[in-house]
Structure 1
């Protein structure tokens, strides 16, 4: 299954694994690596045997940033023609839950990739941050937007302007990370969490994710209208009939994802 150069891809027990695999450079993200990551995510999104996607990094870091050597000589016109962030935009179209397991550094583009996950579990020694200002640039793959939506304008500006590392404990405080665990059990605990999510009815997972993402940008009224349409849509599913029947009959439901 792993026909990739910069990542490892596998699946087991309804979980699809995407592992960044450039540990010798702390999984620094080059453009081709991002394309591979997005292609793997999209492949799992279409795979009926996969319910949840788990994204992590090999070695001591999740991803320590973008590959600076790749972009050091770029100019504005070349970047415009490359349209490199189009691949990043595809991540937002993934319907299935994406759970990130973060160890070591998640900096710059690595932090942006982590913020693309729906849920983050982090080792308690992990570090996050946007150090781009220290080399004369700024985040370009959604960092300023996603960080601001999570922590608000004033705190986001502080972190983006200073370019300082954020501890895992601080990331938990600001709602960036869901759970902190010891580094040696990071993958084990993230898999345990992913398996719990995978047991839930997949159509409900899909439409809940879609509704929550709309809540970020919609007004309360518009978001509630969207939520109600998805609520009603689930009443056409087998899993809704099975779930409510099982509740009435006091037994465990047998969800089929349809």
Structure 2
């Protein structure tokens, strides 16, 4: 996996550590960074020596979500309907690639995990958060819908009522509450999420690897068999929401630091 620009891979026997670090202090998910994370997941599909993958950001932040300043994002939205629809695949393709891995995937999360960052960790198997971590989905208050095939994954973790609160309100969920709600499986002292994830990874990597993979797949099917049925149109919903006046009003109000006036248009 040579030529990686935004990520690094460290191998410790049957455990691999994938670190996302864009060096911008935000770990924003540009299209290039998302394609790189997708490529890494695809490469692991043919790796029968790695049994557990730990995905992490920096010791300050996991990810601030999609990079709204990415020039490639702006150019993709300027094309015709076919081009815009195709451009919207990059996020869900990334999350799907990580969800489809046979290896056990563990996320170590420090600091903010926002928007697309939440979508990515929701596509993985286990989430361990540092005590100062926080999670937020700003999409709905900004006039968008939550896409990237995320809603049913969050329902699988938190149940429908709490998922509605988390997705619709766009309010921050602190680590302790994320644990209580089921979004994460463990909260540890600040700065120790990666150590805790590696401890779990070592225990998981010590079990027979074939039953590990088969068990993961059977559990995934039991929990998520209907997920694709409820998300196959979410990028089209995102594209539709982007044409509404409410989204423009949401962005304008955010930039002008005022309360938005939504009309449903």
TM over 0.5: yes
Within the alignment, does 1:188 sit opposite 2:189 as a pair? no
The number of residues matched between the two structures is 219
Within the alignment, does 1:215 sit opposite 2:218 as a pair? no
| CA RMSD, 1 decimal | 1.9
Identify if the C-alpha distance between structure 1 residues 45 and 86 changes in structure 2 by more than 3 Å, giving closer, same or farther: closer
Ranges in structure 1 where 5+ consecutive residues have no aligned partner: 220-258
Q: What does 1:238-257 correspond to in 2, within 5 Å?
A: none
Find the aligned partners of 1:132 and 1:72 in 2 and give their Cα distance.
17
Find the aligned partners of 1:10 and 1:2 in 2 and give their Cα distance.
12
C-alpha contact (below 8 Å) 1:55/1:100 kept by paired residues: yes
* Greater gyration radius: 1
Report the TM-score, using the length of structure 2 for normalisation: 0.77
Find the aligned partners of 1:2 and 1:17 in 2 and give their Cα distance.
15
Report the TM-score, using the length of structure 1 for normalisation: 0.78
Q: What does 1:74-223 correspond to in 2, within 5 Å?
A: 74=77, 77=81, 78-82=83-87, 83-84=89-90, 85-218=92-225
What is aligned with 1:51?
51
SS in 2 for 1:134: helix
Find the aligned partners of 2:44 and 2:224 in 1 and give their Cα distance.
26
Find the aligned partners of 1:105 and 1:217 in 2 and give their Cα distance.
27
Choose between structure 1 and 2 for higher RCO, CA contacts under 8 A separated by at least 6 residues.
2
Ranges in structure 2 where 5+ consecutive residues have no aligned partner: 227-265
Structure 1 runs (4+) deviating above 3 angstroms are none
Find the aligned partners of 2:4 and 2:205 in 1 and give their Cα distance.
25
Deviations 1:20-73 (A, max 9, x none): 111424111111211211221232332233111010002410111111123457
Find the aligned partners of 1:217 and 1:88 in 2 and give their Cα distance.
14
